[in-house]
Each structure stands twice: as structure tokens, then as C-alpha cells.
Copies of this chain bind each other. A is one copy, B any other.
Amino acid sequence: MSVPYASLTPQQVATEYAAVSAEFESLKEKHLKLDMSRGKPGKEQLDLVSDLLTTLQTPADCVVDGLDVRNYGEVGGIPAAKRLFAEILGCRSEECFIGGNASLTLMYDTIAKAYTNGLLHSPRPWGKEDVVKFLCPSPGYDRHFKVSQSFGMELITVPMTAAGPDMDLVEDLIRDPAVKGMWCVPKYSNPDGIVYSDETIRRIAGMKPAAPDFALMWDNAYCIHEFEGPFVPFDDILTLCREAGNPDMVYEYASTSKVTFPGAGVSVMATSEANLAYLLRLIGFQTISYDKVNQLRHVKYLKDKAHTLELMRKHAAILGPKFRCVLDTLEREIAPLGIAQWQKPKGGYFVSVNTAPGLAKRTLELCKEAGVVMTPAGATFPYGKDPRDSNIRIAPSLPPVEELKAAMDVFCTCLKLAALEQAAG
């Protein structure tokens, strides 16, 4: 049936329920085992970048700007990598700190240092505060929220709009000096795939938080990750914050996890030179340097922004069909029924489905029964609790298209079944 479920008579609900149940049972018999739980690139994407493995072959290859990257030193990263990331992010290379294989680690470490030592403008370490609150635009990235939670912060949910976080609410909340920061994924937000509007970004950069050490955690994870259409330029958040009189408010993060190898890429933190000078003193206790050989491998392989964007187009050629499969299936199977809504992102790694209230958990339970594992319901909200039990994050990057089709059939059937169960009361 392809009419809104809300318009069905009880008799029609019963008929449809019987039909969808039968479909569900037949899907179960396929004994599928599909994983769409995380934004993992697929094997075809990993194979794209195999030349990275052999970019450095000899001792001479390991010298750049007169620096032998094999030995100790250069805690802030090699200048060549700073230049590459500065070009991609639109900031200055002096504002870049090059880390190891995970930007998540750089984010965690920034918060950890805020707790044990304080940030540049902290009156005291956050660990000495009675309470620390953090703004969590939701649905959002579970790992962000869990970093905050692991330090015992109080997480405050801020609803996402189609233009980014609800800024009226944000501007109200930051008048509380216990609110020490906010998590943001400004381009192709995780999971909605929303690009923050210029207006939203201008308001964020111009915030006047009561906390002098408010940390705008700007995770630009998908800054060059279009899977549909041309590269969408973005403004440099460091410049915007500086111009708005907030030079030390923002910490921007990115990585090559979804450019080269997810487990073996290079990460970057961009922040004001004053913040960097402060943090470098603390990072100097933690390490002598991150892996500079891998930094140089990436510089030689990616070369510059233009060359990196070429590579991203090859990723897009692999990812595009997968996302189109998800969006087309949703459009065909679910849109007419009026039981869910979703954005139609052009980049990032997720499609985020908002079901009618109360359907998310049940839908994913049914998916699991039929052999399809998705990100747990609620994961995209603070404390893993979605107040409307509505958001479901679909991660289509890992399975080949054929498997994805099968998984989406399961998903749509399960969502319908959950809606019909609810309608049947």
C-alpha cells in the first residue's frame, strides 16, 4: 500500500500488517548478516589509496624541509603537513597542529587537558569546577557526547534545525558560566548531513559565552566529503571567530580517516596561535612527536588541496550510488506512508531518518532479528536517550550496493512493521 498509514482504517491496518509481516518473515529466511552500524569506508575505497603504502621507500624519501621524519622531534607536526591542512581548511599553517591517526583523540585530549590543567583562559581546571555543562546539538555524533560523558559533564541537548543548531536556544544557554563548550559538525553534520547555514555559523562565531574558556569543538570531519555534486567551499571558522572578537574560542578538527585509511590516517587540530602555544606546552608532556613518517607519507600522496579533491571525487564515485540507493529506497517505500522524514545530504557518511515518535527502537530490534545491524537507537542523543525514540542513523558506506539494497529492503519492511504495530495499538 502506498498511502499515508495515518489515513488507513483499522481493517486496512490489519490487512497491511499481515502483508508486511509475511514479507518480514520471508526476509528473515534469507539469514542476512549485514552491518550498517558505523561510518566505515568500504574495501573499494581503501583500495583506491594503495599507493599511499609505498610513497616512502628510501631514507632520502624521509627527509622534507631538511627534517628527517624518522627520528624524534617536531611535536607540532611537520611543516609540510601543516601547509597541506591549512590549505584544505582555509586557515594559516601556524594555526595547525598535526596529530596521529585519529582526530577523536585530539578532541578527547583537548577536553582531558581542560579537565586536568585548564584551557588558555580557564580560571581553574575543569576538574575543579562543581559542574561542567556542554551543548550537544542533537541528533549528533555519539562519540562526541561520550567524550563529554566520560569526564562527568552534564550534557545539554540542543535541537538541530535544517540550518544547524537552534541558535536562539544556544545563545540563551551560554549565559550560564557552567556551559563550557559545544560540539559541532558544521558540514554534513553527523548524522543529518546538514550544512550549517552562513547565518548559523556567523551567530556561532559571534557567541558571547559567560565562560571565558568556552570551547567551540568544531569537528570538520566531512569538510571535503561530497558524494554528490561539486565541492562546496566553506569559510574558515578561525577567521570568523577572530573577526567576531573570539580568537581563542574555537578548536577545529579534521582528518584523513575518510580520505586515505580510516585506521592509519593523519589528524589535525587548528586553533589560534595563542591556544596552540598553551596546548603545545602540555602536549609536550604527553609525547615527543606524533608519527611524522605517516605525516610525510600523506603529504607526498595527497600533495595539495586540488589533488586531494580529485581523490575525493573518486570516493564520491563509489559512495554516490550507495547513498542514492538509500535515498531512492526511502523515497519509494517510505515517503508515501508519512511515517518518517529525512534530509537528502550531498556529503558526509550518513542518512538520518526521523520516524514518527516511538518507532526507532522497535524498528532496529526488528532489523536485528532479520540480520541487519544498525547504530543503536538513541545513540545520536546525549546519554543515548532519544526523547522521541525517533532518530535512526543509516551508514551506507561499508556494504557493497547489492548488500545495501538487501539491507534497505529489510529496513523499510521493519519500519513499516513497527508503524503498523503501533497503529494497531
Q: A73: which of B104, B147, B263, B293 is its contact (CB, 8 Å)? A: B263
**Given A46-B70, A109-B286, A147-B285; A263-B293 close (CB under 8 Å):** yes
Say yes or no: is A291 at the interface (Cβ < 8 Å to chain B): yes
Choice from B41, B69, B261 contacting A263 with Cβ under 8 Å: B69
Contact with B along A14-55 (1 / 0, CB 8 A): 000000000000000000000000101101001100100110
Return chain B residues, CB-CB under 8 Å to A157: none
Please determine whether A286 and B108 come into contact, CB atoms closer than 8 angstroms: yes
User: Considering only CB atoms, which chain B residue lies closest to A71 in the complex?
Assistant: B262
Q: Chain B nearest CB: distance from A292 CB in Å?
A: 5
- Interface residue stretch chosen among A56-64, A166-174, A176-184, A332-340: A56-64
A354 adjacent to chain B (CB < 8 Å)? no
Check A261 against B58 for contact (C-beta < 8 Å): no
Knowing A53-B57, A116-B127, A150-B282 are in contact, say whether A40-B287 is a contact too (CB < 8 A): no
Bound-complex Cα distance A175 to B412 (A): 64
Which residues of the other chain, B, contact A261 by a CB distance below 8 angstroms?
Answer: 70-71, 293
* Contacts A43-B68, A68-B43 given; does A116 touch B112 at CB 8 Å: yes
Query: Are the CB atoms of B285 and A263 closer together than 8 Å?
Result: no
Contacting B at CB under 8 A, from A180-211, are none
Q: Contact at A264–B293, with CB atoms within 8 Å?
A: yes
Name the residue on B nearest A146 (C-beta). B285
Residue of B nearest to A108 (CB): B286
The chain B residue with its CB closest to the CB of A41 is B71
In the complex, A112 Cα to B128 Cα: how many Å? Answer: 15
Residues from chain B with a CB closer than 8 A to the CB of A127 are 115-116, 125, 127-128
A396 within 8 A of B: no
Known contacts A108-B287, A109-B286; A40/B72 CB under 8 A: yes
Question: Do the beta carbons of B50 and A53 come within 8 Å of each other?
Answer: no
Establish whether residues B294 and A150, one from each chain, have CB atoms under 8 Å apart when the complex forms.
no
Interface residues as binary, A279-319 with B (CB distance below 8 Å gives 1, 0 otherwise): 00010011111111110000000000000000000000000
State how many angstroms separate the Cβ of A35 from the closest Cβ of chain B: 11
A302 to B47, CA, bound (A): 25
- The verdict on A101 contacting chain B, using a C-beta distance below 8 Å, is yes
Could you tell me the distance between the alpha carbons of A125 and B126 in the complex, rounded to whole angstroms?
A: 14
Q: CB of A102 within 8 A of chain B?
A: yes
Contact B70 A262 (CB under 8 A): yes
Q: Are B292 and A264 in contact (CB under 8 A)?
A: yes
Say whether B46 contacts A263, CB under 8 Å.
no
Contact B291 A264 (CB under 8 A): yes
Does residue A343 face the partner (Cβ distance < 8 Å to B)? Answer: no
Contacts of A43 in B (CB 8 A): 59, 68
Chain B nearest CB: distance from A394 CB in Å? 17
Bound CA span A10–B335, Å: 101
From B71, B125, B143, give the contact of A40 (CB < 8 A): B71
Q: Does A122 contact B (CB under 8 A)?
A: no
Known interface pairs A53-B293, A104-B286; 19 further A-B residue pairs with C-beta atoms within 8 A, sorted by A's residue number: A50-B58, A53-B58, A53-B62, A54-B54, A70-B261, A71-B261, A71-B262, A100-B101, A100-B290, A108-B287, A112-B286, A143-B288, A146-B285, A150-B282, A262-B288, A263-B288, A263-B289, A263-B292, A291-B291
A-B contact pairs, 30 of them (CB 8 A): A38-B72, A40-B72, A40-B73, A43-B59, A46-B71, A47-B59, A50-B57, A50-B58, A53-B58, A53-B61, A53-B293, A54-B54, A72-B262, A73-B263, A100-B101, A100-B290, A100-B291, A102-B288, A102-B289, A104-B286, A104-B287, A104-B288, A108-B285, A109-B286, A115-B115, A143-B288, A147-B285, A150-B282, A263-B289, A263-B292
